[in-house]
Amino acid sequence: METPHTEVSSPYRLKPGPYSSHTMLLEEFPPRGDGRRVLDVGCAVGYLSEILAQRGFAVTSVDWPNTPHPPTVEFAGTDLDDGLPPLQGRFDYIICADVLEHLRAPLELLRECRERLAPDGLLVASLPNSGHAWFRWTVLRGRFPQHERGLFDSTHLHFYTWQGWVDLFARAGLAIGAVRSSAVPIGLAFSAWDNSWPVRALEWLSFISARAWKKLFAYQFIVRARAAAAPPTYPRT
């Protein structure tokens, strides 16, 4: 997996492991961009944007104003809780990587993304699974920790299980056509042992379990969605 050059202190960083959500998101794109347009919504410091730009995609990244970003991509600063900034044209791909759960109104943003998709365009997203066995067990014990990242990220405003995500996308007029399940990034939690054989084995076991029972063992859902044939008639909120 390619690695970007952007290096900025942040609790969020590229997850390059073979069973990670970032690896699976990048696998949704062809190896050559040939100038196809990509909108990276909530790009953080641009680790995915930079990799896609290196492949030859024309990337526009969106995040907070003044967020550091790679020089190889176009950047538009905005508060995503206010919606997308003014943008030119439509996009062949839109990425929502680890962002929707942080927003006050993810439905409204997804609706805007739908309107920005080119005909036959794809929206790819990574979505945390609040139905994961560890999440359920933690809540069952009467605990709801506040972490810097992960399923109990203190900046998450929404907590969806698989069906909750499916319903949210449907209300936005997006039909999920494919889903994959990522493994728990154990190497990030135990960085001193990252890439050791016990960690690799545990991540592989997590991945296999998620493939067998995604609703209970997927750490994140990686989905591919298209605009539905007809947008829903739900009133805008």
Per-residue pLDDT tens digits for 25-60: 999 999 999 999 999 999 988 999 999 999 999 999
User: What is the predicted pLDDT for the residue at 121?
Assistant: 97
Q: How far is CA 10 from CA 47, 72, 79, 120, 214, in A?
A: 12, 20, 18, 34, 29
Q: What is the mean pLDDT of residues 12-20?
A: 76
Q: Are 104 and 50 in contact (CB under 8 A)?
A: no
- In angstroms, rounded to a whole number, what is the distance separating the alpha carbons of residues 47 and 98? 13
CATH class of segment(s) 21-227: alpha beta
Tokens 């044939």, residue located: 229
Q: Are 62 and 42 in contact (CB under 8 A)?
A: yes
Residue 14 clears pLDDT 80, i.e. is over it? no
**pLDDT confidence band for 190 (50 / 70 / 90):** low
User: What is the predicted pLDDT for the residue at 3?
Assistant: 45
- In angstroms, rounded to a whole number, what is the distance separating the alpha carbons of residues 187 and 149? 14
| Stated pTM of the model | 0.88
Q: Which of 72-81, 97-106, 226-235 has the lowest mean pLDDT?
A: 226-235
Residue 156 clears pLDDT 70, i.e. is over it? yes
- In angstroms, rounded to a whole number, what is the distance separating the alpha carbons of residues 53 and 59? 6
Distance of CA 227 to the CA centre of its chain: 18
Per-residue pLDDT tens digits for 121-148: 999 999 999 999 999 999 999 999 999 8
Tokens 């600063």, residue located: 77
